Amino acid sequence: MVSSANLGFPRMGANRELKKLVEAYWAGKVTEQELQQGSKDLRAAHWKLQKDSGIDIIPSNDFSFYDHVLDAAHTFGVIPSKYQHLQSGLESYFAMGRGLQRAGDANVQAVDVPAQEMKKWFDTNYHYIVPEFTSNQQFSLANSKPIDEYLEAKAIGIETRPVILGPISFLLLGKAAKGDSVQPIQLLEKLVPVYEQLLSKLKQAGASDVQLDEPVLILDQPASIKDAFKHAYEVLVKSSPRILVATYFGRLDSNVEFLTQLPIHGIHLDLVRAPEQLDSVLKVLPAHQTLSLGVINGRNIWKANLSKAIETVNKAVQAIGSDRVIVAPSCSMLHTPHSTESETKMDQEILDWLAFSAEKLHELATIKEAVATGPASVQVKLQANADSLARRAASKRIHRQEVKDRVNNISPDQLKRRSPFPERQKLQQEKLKLPKFPTTTVGSFPQTREVRLARSKLKKGEYTPEQYDEFIKGEVQKCVKFQEDANIDVLVHGEFERNDMVEFFGENFEGHVFTQNGWVQSYGSRCVKPPVIFGDVSRSRPITVYWSQYAQSLTKKPMKGMLTGPITCLQWSFVRDDQPRKDTANQLAFAIRDEVVDLEKAGIPVIQIDEPAIREGLPLRRADWDAYLQWAVDAFLLSSTGVHDQTQIHTHMCYSDFNDIFPSIKRMDADVITIENSKSDLKLLNAFEQHSYTNEIGPGVYDIHSPRVPSVQEMQERVAAMLKYLPTGLVWVNPDCGLKTRGWPEVEQALRNLTQVAQSFRAQA
Ligand code: GLN
Ligand code: ZN
């Protein structure tokens, strides 16, 4: 009979219990024993919830104190030497995740180790800790977490399918340690025996099945990867429980061929991202393999279309028989919040459209039931689902003809500035009269405790809007005065009125709604609560004009307006699934365009549109890049080109590895681009030179992620290095990102040093 499975459940708990527990442990407020007990309770609650929801195959070892890739590194003994001398396994584990600084005393040595690198998990907003390998890497089964958690579930009467990051993905997601040149995949031969050991122990413990996650299979891979898989899995299956290889976030493409030739028991496909792959897989699936169908979206928060999912599952059942079919979410539910149950304040109409993880479990169970015993057995549930979908589709809250019309009638003129850059540059110079090496900041100034307190007082009603307004005015005054004092050329208002660069705009746009408790893990104990874009997006009133105009009234120097770009708003939200992302991006772009035009009308001469997320939106397969970059850059252009030539448009990106998307960066045609550069080498600047980039550039001259104050000399050296690649007339001097996480004393000192650096270069120019 067809069965239902989950690939992973969110770890944090209904009320972010895990976050609170782990942070309390770090702060020394709970003991290790309390941490262990609390986590055990949480795991038990999540297993029971899945069982009670009717899920047949329940995952274990999906729990993690910090990150599942870090777990794998710890389990397989991939612990760089600098972490090996710490006091306990848990201490080294957290040190690898977040670094550790501890003063020494007579008994213990002082410790000061940095965290390992963190990277985005495919195209999600989850970040994993990058494993570090060396040429003489030794592997060992350093802990028994997967077995312990399997037995822990068994002890409370729940049979589980342990989830383990597969050996190929584990290696490919890692990197060579600094100074080492090993290609991690070369270590496969040494790693496989340790996986073998773990899998055979799981088998001895009673596990009948395991889920080995190999998401790297949906990326472009060299042909040699096929041999790596063949080698590893032919060995592993010998002593292992039945192996299901899980792939997600995309399509397998040609990898299907060798995967279906492996002696594994089954394959999981993401049919939400890549529904078209079902047919081709059904054609080649050998008789000994089962197929797990990812038909419920593990990455988004909308109710599934159950009848459509049932149709898909039935198709597979007809082709290969019900015993070989499993109904599952597209990927682990790690990327959706816990449950809609705690959304007590949300608009009821919209709440009716949503399914978080707990609700998705019911959807899976219903699909399975409908396929196994016929739709009549779950008729009421199916009808309720169909009704809800119909209500959503017809809702007046979603569809607004005037917004759609605008997007459907984008003219070529709306995608370009009136004149080419050299002409704009001249007009802007005449208007702004900036010196050479102009100085500016990326936008935010310190979000101090007082600023956050004022916001929370406003929320709780302890401050009237007028009181809050007065408070923010005071902050803006201080900020503007300081910048004038420090001799900065293009000022900002400081963004004190904003909670978060995406949420702030979402709260002011139509078509958005906010959850109370829709948290998803971003990294370690950090969770984010993305806005939900449910309907057509527009801007009904100016959002930032008030504060920008106020700030401009305090100074004769040019004030820079600060906005978040359409792609960043899109990337960091839960996006509606009833229209292409491109359409939503264009709607956001128009909303921002309206704001840009209003800022210009209000006398703001410089406007920055931040797009830190444009690169992370890149599709996972190269073949899909061009299509994405086409509409993503168009959306940026749509948002930024409504102004006159004299108005200077800036953009900002918090990364610098855009060698491979350079033509798109060029096409954005921002008058000034500020980028993160302080950490990276000068390869990037080389690229600007090579691609003959003509517009102005502000490569960050210091790293704002650390409280350290950079000296005048070190920033001078950076600028001097930049000038080897970039013409004098194009270079701006600025920090590499916003200053909101910093404190005032270090910001003041750093920026005073920074303007001194600019002055010293002007003197030479
Ligand atoms: N303007 C934003 C700030 O300064 C930019 C933040 C970002 O790049 N992530 O905070
Ligand atoms: Zn940034």
Please give the full DSSP string across 208-276, using - where no structure is assigned: -EEEEE-GGGGS---TTHHHHHHHHHHHHHHHSSEEEEE--SS--TTHHHHHTTSS-SEEEEETTT-TT
Side-chain-facing half-sphere of 517: CA atoms under 13 Å: 17
265 tagged catalytic: no
The pLDDT value recorded for residue 764 is 87
| Residue ranges in 461-501 assigned as alpha helix (H) | 465-485
The answer, as to whether pTM is greater than 0.90, is yes
The pLDDT value recorded for residue 486 is 98
Q: Which atom of ligand 1 is nearest to 738's Cα? A: 4
Say which residue, 656 or 578, is predicted with more confidence. Answer: 578
pLDDT (mean) for 678-700? 81
Q: Which atom of ligand 1 is nearest to 562's Cα? A: 1
The mean predicted confidence, pLDDT, of the chain is: 96
Q: Which ligand gives the minimal distance to the CA of 676?
A: 2
How far is ligand 2, taken at its centre, from the CA of residue 615, in Å? 13
Q: In what order do the strands lie in the sheet with 606-610?
A: 560-564, 606-610, 648-653, 672-675, 696-699
61: left (phi over 0), alpha (psi -120 to 50) or beta: left
Q: Which ligand gives the minimal distance to the CA of 739?
A: 1
Helices 581-601 + 545-553 axis angle, to 10: 30
pLDDT (mean) for 280-304? 97
pLDDT at 679 over 60: no
Q: Which ligand gives the minimal distance to the CA of 610?
A: 1
Nearest CA to ligand 1 atom 4: 738
8 A C-beta contact, residue 38 and residue 21: yes
Is any atom of ligand 1 closer than 6 Å to the C-beta of 442? yes
The pLDDT value recorded for residue 658 is 77
Q: Which atom of ligand 1 is nearest to 740's Cα? A: 10
Q: Which of 231, 362, 399, 705 is catalytic?
A: 705
The pLDDT value recorded for residue 109 is 83
Q: Which ligand gives the minimal distance to the CA of 495?
A: 1
Q: Chain centroid to CA 210: how far? A: 28
For tokens 């593990």, what's the residue?
A: 298
How far is ligand 2, taken at its centre, from the CA of residue 17, in Å? 30
Q: Which atom of ligand 1 is nearest to 737's Cα? A: 8
pLDDT (mean) for 293-303? 98
Is any atom of ligand 1 closer than 6 Å to the C-beta of 735? no
Angle at alpha carbon of residue 158, lines to 152 and 159, rounded to 5°? 95
| β-strands 132-133, 648-653 pairing | unpaired
Is any atom of ligand 1 closer than 6 Å to the C-beta of 700? no
pLDDT (mean) for 197-209? 98
- Counting ligand 1 atoms within 8 A of each CB, the residue from 447, 563, 652, 739 with the most, and so the one to mutate, is 652
Q: Which ligand gives the minimal distance to the CA of 444?
A: 1
How far is ligand 2, taken at its centre, from the CA of residue 611, in Å? 9
Q: Is 59 helix (H, G, I), strand (E, B) or coil?
A: strand
CA 251/CA 266 separation, integer angstroms: 16
pLDDT (mean) for 182-194? 98
Is any atom of ligand 1 closer than 6 Å to the C-beta of 325? no
How far is ligand 1, taken at its centre, from the CA of residue 738, in Å? 4
CA 489/CA 389 separation, integer angstroms: 53
Six-digit token pair at 183? 């290609």
CA 129/CA 121 separation, integer angstroms: 9
- Alpha-carbon separation of residue 424 from 136, 337, 440, 728 (angstroms): 57, 46, 19, 18
136 by Cβ neighbours in 10 Å (0-12 / 13-18 / 19+) ranks as: exposed
pLDDT (mean) for 97-111? 87
Is any atom of ligand 1 closer than 6 Å to the C-beta of 718? no
For tokens 């059942």, what's the residue?
A: 317
How far is ligand 2, taken at its centre, from the CA of residue 676, in Å? 7
The pLDDT value recorded for residue 575 is 98
Is any atom of ligand 1 closer than 6 Å to the C-beta of 493? no
- Counting ligand 1 atoms within 8 A of each CB, the residue from 445, 528, 737, 741 with the most, and so the one to mutate, is 737
Q: Which atom of ligand 1 is nearest to 441's Cα? A: 4
Return the HEC string of 130-170: CCEECCCCCCCCCCCHHHHHHHHHHHCCCCEEEEEECHHHH
The pLDDT value recorded for residue 454 is 98
8 A C-beta contact, residue 604 and residue 549: yes
Q: Which ligand gives the minimal distance to the CA of 565?
A: 1
Nearest CA to ligand 1 atom 1: 443
How far is ligand 1, taken at its centre, from the CA of residue 169, in Å? 33
Q: pLDDT tens digits, residue range 425-457?
A: 999 999 999 999 999 999 999 999 999 999 999
Q: Which atom of ligand 1 is nearest to 653's Cα? A: 8
How far is ligand 1, taken at its centre, from the CA of residue 562, in Å? 9
Is the ipTM, as predicted for this complex, more than 0.90?
A: yes
CA 11/CA 669 separation, integer angstroms: 43
pLDDT at 680 over 70: no
Return the HEC string of 332-375: CHHHCCCCHHHCCCCCHHHHCCECCHHHHHHHHHHHHHHHHHCH
8 A C-beta contact, residue 87 and residue 153: no
The pLDDT value recorded for residue 687 is 82
Q: Is 675 helix (H, G, I), strand (E, B) or coil?
A: strand
Six-digit token pair at 677? 């550069």
Q: Which atom of ligand 1 is nearest to 443's Cα? A: 4
250 by Cβ neighbours in 10 Å (0-12 / 13-18 / 19+) ranks as: buried
- Counting ligand 1 atoms within 8 A of each CB, the residue from 442, 445, 505, 544 with the most, and so the one to mutate, is 442
Is any atom of ligand 1 closer than 6 Å to the C-beta of 565? no
Q: How confident is the model at residue 192 (pLDDT cuts 50, 70, 90)?
A: very high
Q: Is 292 helix (H, G, I), strand (E, B) or coil?
A: strand
Is any atom of ligand 1 closer than 6 Å to the C-beta of 161? no
DSSP-derived letter for residue 57 is B
Q: Taking the CB of residue 682, how many other CB atoms lie within 10 A of it?
A: 15
CA 324/CA 287 separation, integer angstroms: 9
How far is ligand 2, taken at its centre, from the CA of residue 14, in Å? 31
Is any atom of ligand 1 closer than 6 Å to the C-beta of 737? yes
- Alpha-carbon separation of residue 662 from 3, 125, 666, 667, 685 (angstroms): 47, 23, 6, 9, 11
Is any atom of ligand 1 closer than 6 Å to the C-beta of 329? no
The pLDDT value recorded for residue 85 is 85
The pLDDT value recorded for residue 678 is 60
Host H or E run for residue 426? helix 421-432
Six-digit token pair at 675? 């980028």
Six-digit token pair at 349? 């109409």
- Counting ligand 1 atoms within 8 A of each CB, the residue from 479, 563, 610 with the most, and so the one to mutate, is 610
How far is ligand 2, taken at its centre, from the CA of residue 562, in Å? 12
- Alpha-carbon separation of residue 293 from 20, 159, 271, 285 (angstroms): 35, 21, 7, 13
- Counting ligand 1 atoms within 8 A of each CB, the residue from 447, 483, 501, 567 with the most, and so the one to mutate, is 501
Q: pLDDT tens digits, residue range 365-396?
A: 999 999 999 999 999 999 999 999 999 999 99
Is any atom of ligand 1 closer than 6 Å to the C-beta of 265? no
8 A C-beta contact, residue 475 and residue 451: yes
Q: How confident is the model at residue 476 (pLDDT cuts 50, 70, 90)?
A: very high
Nearest CA to ligand 1 atom 6: 738
CA 350/CA 343 separation, integer angstroms: 11
Q: pLDDT tens digits, residue range 708-765?
A: 899 999 999 999 999 998 899 999 999 999 999 999 999 999 999 999 999 999 998 7
Q: What is the DSSP string of 168-196?
A: HHHHHT-EEPTT----GGGGHHHHHHHHH
Residues lying with their CB under 5 A of ligand 2, a single-atom ion: 654, 737
8 A C-beta contact, residue 677 and residue 736: yes
